[in-house]
Structure 1
């Protein structure tokens, strides 16, 4: 009888240790593959920039820096983390060959723990969106479901898996759908935000993100087997896409802010998005001088962060009376 009791109690005693171990492993995984300083910063800037754009396009909206905005930032951050967790599992076979030092192939975490993390993220997302709107819940579940569907799609289709532009065509909608979620959150919080505004905001965010996407996968020479856009369209074509998206992002930001219609501090703040082209110049100069084998990701990320931040600063300056203290 004693041995029976002792035997049955051992799993109970082991459970907390196992849970604590998994929690530690998940923290290590997140720190390595989804650093908070990068993912949270991106989520903050993305939501602030997109909602700033919507507020500038609908100045009658009572847009406030309050709880709904903070909840949306957290929602987007967790969605990005969910995407990272799914991608880590999707790329396992490739990483075992090409990136064996990453957490999953080296055994620092396992698939079961990552799937537990996915479930916990979904629960947290439901809590963050449920109190705001059933529509936000439904749309977010659609986004997360599509992320999981992409895993199956890549397994089914070699074309989707191996052709970089086809893969971009089916994977970028995740970013676009999250932009729609930010717009829906804005609309729920303010009662405004027509569809045309959402299109402008989504196009702006698409141009900015695509600059980073094309930049980081533009190589100075053809590298067989590498996932580079320059392998598919040539160096000049890839550079044209990189530069073109950066110019489009700045152009759309200026069209939204319209600094030529402002005066005083709003005039100066309104031209801030233009200064993001300095990062384009730095990245292009480094790449042209062959100091880096691919377009340097630092300036490309700097362009994204600075343009989003300057757009938010411009909106605050232009719309200051609209915030009502």
Structure 2
């Protein structure tokens, strides 16, 4: 700190805060772009709540403040995950991704932890007014995310064995899906019970398709976290394709388009068209135009399937949907 800064500590702190804010804004723009993370949050919430509305059509499912708050809650949770992962993967990224913000000094750990604290405060504001259960469940999920950092440092098996890591890290996504279900129940005065597991299975299949796709490589890369390094190219590709097919089957089983009439029938079959993204990804990968399964079609499948379920839900339960 210079002599001038020491004589004006408030001004110095203000400049430091503004600098950190700019660095965090640049970090999120690079590592968690809104066009991906915000869209994912919107479609995940709408797709799963649409699934729940189809499973419990008697409930009053509405587009309102609670639904908007849940989208914001999930979006901030995704940002929290991104911030934690940036710190958790520090050693791996030093070897394999040295150009990332934390590794190249564009952001530091202190600033990332400030962002985590601010996100927690915002999350409590978004959930606390709806119900203590939503706030408590979210804090449990965020706490588990932080616990995973310690777990990977303690356990070489969790850190180095990709399928074990997936087993212990997927509950983060599952708990967010449960949060969306709890939000639906809070807003609608009830909702599907045991058979809501179909919604959880749908979200698991959709997420796993993207997870396996982005870590399926055409060749073995020593030290890289690829599922294909463990089960081979064919095995990893089979998991990628199988999850997409299973997700589509579950979506169609929930919507049951063959039982619909009129325009609702067209909307009901919309989730099936998400397989076009599966075909596109498989074709690009099989022709060796990409070293790994292309993430664009994998994300496209995820987004389009959720959108298809949401549109189908609107067509089927439209009388209960409104302002």
Smaller-chain TM-score bracket: over 0.9
Shift of 1:95: 1.9
Between the aligned partners of 1:324 and 1:92, the Cα distance in structure 2 is: 46
Other-structure match for 1:181: 179
Q: Which runs of 5+ in 2 are unaligned?
A: none
Alignment correspondent of 1:198: 196
Deviates more, 1:165-174 or 1:187-196: 187-196
Per-residue deviation at 1:290?
Answer: 1.2
Structure 1: how far apart are the matches of 2:167 and 2:253? 26
CA contact (8 A) 2:213 2:293 kept: yes
* Structure 1 residue aligned with 2:278: 280
Q: Output one character per residue of 1:96-125: Cα deviation in whole Å (capped at 9) or x when no partner.
A: 232221111111111111100000000000
Q: C-alpha displacement at 1:324, in angstroms?
A: 5.2
Ranges of 4+ aligned residues in structure 1 off by more than 4 Å:
6-9
| TM-superposed deviation, 1:221 | 1.7
Unpaired runs of at least 5, structure 1: 1-5
Query: Given the superposition, is the C-alpha separation of residues 7 and 61 from structure 1 closer, same or farther in structure 2, using an over 3 Å criterion?
Result: closer
The corresponding residue for 2:259 is 261
2:311, 2:177 → 1: CA distance? Answer: 20
State the distance in 2 between where 1:172 and 1:140 align.
15
Q: TM-score, normalised by structure 2?
A: 0.97
Summarize the Cα distance change of 1:222–1:182 in structure 2 as closer, same or farther, 3 Å threshold: same
Contact 2:255–2:312, Cα closer than 8 Å, also in 1: yes
Local SS of the residue matching 1:128: helix
| Residue 19 of structure 2 corresponds to residue 17 of structure 1 | no
Tell me the TM-score normalized by structure 1.
0.96
Q: 1:170 is matched with which residue?
A: 168
1:289 aligns with 2:290: no
Of 202, 206, 209, which aligns to 1:208? 206
Work out whether 1:239 is the aligned partner of 2:227: no
**Is the CA contact (8 Å cut-off) linking 1:54 and 1:197 kept in structure 2?**
no
Which has the bigger relative contact order, CA under 8 A and spacing at least 6? 2
Query: Are the aligned partners of 2:277 and 2:300 in contact in 1 as well (CA < 8 Å)?
Result: yes
Task: State the shift of 1:240 in Å.
Answer: 1.2
